[in-house]
Copies of this chain bind each other. A is one copy, B any other.
Amino acid sequence: MSKQDEVSQKIIDKSLRLFNTNGIHTTSIQDIMNETGLPKGAIYRRFKNKDEIVLASYAKAGLIIDSFMRESIENKNTVTEKVMAISNIYLDAVDNPPIEGGCPMLNTAIESDSNFPELKTMMAEAFQQMILFVESLLREGIENGEYTTEMEPRSLASHLLSSMEGAIMTSRLSLSNEYVEHTIKYTERLLATYTK
């Protein structure tokens, strides 16, 4: 990685933490300067404005979640084991989420609802990618005979991921991981209704 790239990465990593922990709205370029120890010029040479840093930071967040998902299913045998491994990524949503500050999609979904359409579009696309990934696993399970053909992989994958988002949100609201735990339990129960 060139020195130029390294500095850009540092800006992105530190900014992601700030945005995702304190909110995009409340994070200023000054905060990013303080956190990175870089002068204003070093930031503006690499990013046109704060919005560009936000988009680059949350693109990075998408890559991090994606690699968590892919790593979690390694060495798992059945599709149910794989889906359960993915569900377990957010097991400690309150104190130790994969990305500091909580689920990036959840955090940006509200803030960008009306004010930042590019970010909203980017996060909606990232969510679609997550669904596609789980959908392809479920489809594999139908093809290899683990699940009955009654299963609708697209709608089930969509439901499993949206319900996990809800569980993360309510766990963080209540400062208790119990909602994530419940969702993991009922995800398993739902999958069992299709298991041969």
List chain A positions with a Cβ less than 8 A from chain B.
21-23, 25-26, 102, 105-107, 109-111, 113-115, 120, 123-124, 127-128, 155-156, 158-159, 161-175, 178-179, 182-183, 185-186, 189-190, 193
A46 CB, min distance to chain B CBs, angstroms: 28
- In the complex, A169→B104 CA distance in Å? 13
A97 CA to B174 CA, complexed, in Å: 23
Q: Are B111 and A174 in contact (CB under 8 A)?
A: no
Summarize A's interface: helix, strand, loop or mixed: helix
A120 / chain B contacts, CB cutoff of 8 Å? 173
Which residue, of A23, A102, A124, A159, has the highest number of chain B Cβ atoms within 10 A?
A159
What's the Cα separation between A58 and B168 when bound, in Å?
Answer: 21
